[in-house]
Amino acid sequence: MAVYNVTEQMAKEALHDSVFRSIMACTCQLCQDDALAIALNRLPVRYVATQQGEAYVKANYMQPQLQSDVLRELTRAAQVVSANPRHEQATGGTSQSNG
């Protein structure tokens, strides 16, 4: 089944942006996944079937409001995760910061 959430794609692309690398105390996979999940649960969902998807993603990507919503929620989520990283419980080690 070929449906996907355009907001998810935009958030994943935005998370690769250097601005989040500098905000996040740690950029390990667990911290990135947690930040992404926290942000996506606070963002409007936009599912499309694949055929329409490509055109819809491009059109949406130009929409300033959705972009700023994604950046706002990712910033907030990055701070939440940096303050309470789960990886410490998982690995018992200190946070692997990419300083």
Residues in the site for a second copy, rule: CB under 8 A? 1-3, 5, 8, 12, 15, 29-30, 32-34, 36-37, 40-41, 43, 45-51, 90
Minimum distance, C-beta of residue 13 to a second copy, in the bound complex (Å): 10
> Hunting for tokens 């690995």 — which residue is that?
91
Residue 15 or 24: which CB sits closer to a second copy?
A: 15
Minimum distance, C-beta of residue 50 to a second copy, in the bound complex (Å): 7
Cα distance between residue 91 and residue 4, in whole Å: 32
Residue 18 or 51: which CB sits closer to a second copy?
A: 51
Residues 87, 32: contact at Cβ < 8 Å? no
Minimum distance, C-beta of residue 41 to a second copy, in the bound complex (Å): 5
Residue 22 or 52: which CB sits closer to a second copy?
A: 52
Q: Please state, as a whole number, how many other Cβ atoms lie within 10 Å of the Cβ of residue 78.
A: 26
Minimum distance, C-beta of residue 72 to a second copy, in the bound complex (Å): 17
> Hunting for tokens 């303050």 — which residue is that?
83
Helix 50-61 × helix 6-15 angle, to 10°:
50
Structure tokens, 28? 């390990």
